[in-house]
């Protein structure tokens, strides 16, 4: 008997080809490495007038996925909610028009909880399923005002209530969903985020490498590195203060966006990091091969993320950098296990001084543990297999 095509509609990423991080990269890899010929992905893309995806065409093909643009007006913070609602509405109508059999609608993040009951009824009418990825603890992020954080938490609750399945990229997030919303007896599963394992194609002699290191005045004798969003909950203040207290002679290279950032000016005033020549904010690096090279040639990676699930920048660090120093919280320990070293907020400077003296053998041992950990649990090949098995389980 011929298998039916399983249609999966993905809502909530900005779109593909990926031009951002997180969910966009996830959708890019999910479609790029698709293995099953019985799966058809449909991906919503946000068009804010810049025609970033598919040159403004309503539908276009990318990675064999049917991508569709949703026009979104510039209405400020509510733009993402508007986009998710309109994309889900369009996807449901498209599934009806195409007579899809038991389509799956997979929503990334919990922005549209108050509207979801209405759409859940529509999905049920066409025998569809509603899957949700809750992301991390968005309602804890310092960038949101109190009313917005309240909305995020309320919206998350309703997303859990109406979802047929919550796909969590962290065991700790899955535990939280089951505990905080036990009144809904939510059905959950765990599938992690993935990362690439290939090494950079660049070398020290490449012009892109030489020019960047010269421009940023970074030596090649090793440096401490951080890559990530410049937000308070990623503990930049602690990392900078503790690094300044340490005795290391190495640089601290911060790859992050500080343009028009009030947090940057606040930190400069409170820490005086601009008086320490080791602290080097170098902006963002969009050249992925160059960024991979920068990671690979760091002496050690600092990771201060305190909120969220499986963090992409942590996976990339574990795949590329020999020594990783992580904030001691459950999310980070769940991912890295014994392949990293851990710090609390009062003792990072001591750990930096200790790591400065690590033998090459110890560095190599940590590197091998991290590589093995990534290969077994977080390679894209493994993650794609997990997702396809889930999507196809009713199609066997």
Residues whose CB falls within 8 Å of the CB of residue 49, separated by 6 or more in sequence, listed in order: 71, 74
pTM of the predicted model as reported, rounded to 2 decimal places: 0.87
Query: By three-state DSSP, how is residue 21 classified?
Result: coil
Higher pLDDT, 22 or 178: 178
Query: In sequence order, what DSSP letters do the residues of 31-42 get, joined into one string?
Result: HHT---TTEEEE
- What's the CATH code, domain 6-194+380-391? 3.40.50.2000
- Count Cα neighbours of 225 within 13 Å in the Cβ-side half-sphere: 32
Local confidence band at 172 (pLDDT 50, 70, 90 cut-offs): confident
Local confidence band at 394 (pLDDT 50, 70, 90 cut-offs): low
Interval 118-136: pLDDT, tens:
999 999 999 999 999 997 6
Does residue 2 have a pLDDT over 60?
no
Q: What is the mean pLDDT of residues 284-301?
A: 93
pLDDT of residue 271: 93
Local confidence band at 1 (pLDDT 50, 70, 90 cut-offs): very low
Local confidence band at 272 (pLDDT 50, 70, 90 cut-offs): very high
Q: Where are the domains of the chain?
A: 6-194+380-391, 207-377
Interval 194-235: pLDDT, tens:
998 889 999 999 999 999 999 999 986 689 999 988 888 899
Q: What is the mean pLDDT of residues 12-21?
A: 86
Cis omega (within 30 of 0) on the bond before 17? yes
Interval 69-103: pLDDT, tens:
999 998 887 898 999 999 999 999 999 999 999 99
The domain 207-377 belongs to what CATH superfamily?
Glycogen Phosphorylase B; (3.40.50.2000)
């Amino acid at each position: 008997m011929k298998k039916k095509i399983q249609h999966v509609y993905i809502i909530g990423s900005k779109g593909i080809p990926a031009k951002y991080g997180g969910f966009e990269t996830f959708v890019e890899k999910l479609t790029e490495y698709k293995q099953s010929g019985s799966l058809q992905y449909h991906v919503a893309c946000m068009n804010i007038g810049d025609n970033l995806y598919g040159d403004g065409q309503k539908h276009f093909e990318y990675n064999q996925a049917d991508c569709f643009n949703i026009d979104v007006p510039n209405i400020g913070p509510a733009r993402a909610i508007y986009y998710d609602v309109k994309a889900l509405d369009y996807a449901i109508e498209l599934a009806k028009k195409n007579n899809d059999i038991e389509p799956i609608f997979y929503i990334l993040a919990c922005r549209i909880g108050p509207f979801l009951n209405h759409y859940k009824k529509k999905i049920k009418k066409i025998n569809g399923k509603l899957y949700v990825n809750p992301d991390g603890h968005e309602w804890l992020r310092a960038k949101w005002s109190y009313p917005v954080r309240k909305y995020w938490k309320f919206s998350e609750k309703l997303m859990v209530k109406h979802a047929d399945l919550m796909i969590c990229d962290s065991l700790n997030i899955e535990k939280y969903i089951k505990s905080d919303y036990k009144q809904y007896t939510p059905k959950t599963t765990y599938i992690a985020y993935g990362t690439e394992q290939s090494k950079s194609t660049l070398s020290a002699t490449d012009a892109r490498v030489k020019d960047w290191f010269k421009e940023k005045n970074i030596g090649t004798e090793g440096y401490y590195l951080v890559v990530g969003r410049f937000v308070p909950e990623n503990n930049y203040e602690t990392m900078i203060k503790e690094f300044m207290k340490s005795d290391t002679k190495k640089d601290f290279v911060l790859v992050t966006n500080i343009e028009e950032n009030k947090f940057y000016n606040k930190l400069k005033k409170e820490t005086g990091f601009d008086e320490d020549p080791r602290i080097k904010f170098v902006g963002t690096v969009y050249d992925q091969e160059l960024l991979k090279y920068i990671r690979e040639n760091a002496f050690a990676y600092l990771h201060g993320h305190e909120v969220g699930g499986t963090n992409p920048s942590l996976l990339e660090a574990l795949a590329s950098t020999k020594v990783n120093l992580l904030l001691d919280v459950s999310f980070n320990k769940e991912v890295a296990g014994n392949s990293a070293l851990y710090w609390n907020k009062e003792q990072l400077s001591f750990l930096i001084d200790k790591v400065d003296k690590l033998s090459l053998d110890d560095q190599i041992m940590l590197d091998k543990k991290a590589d093995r950990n990534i290969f077994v649990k977080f390679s894209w090949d493994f993650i794609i297999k997990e997702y396809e098995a889930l999507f196809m389980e009713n199609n066997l």
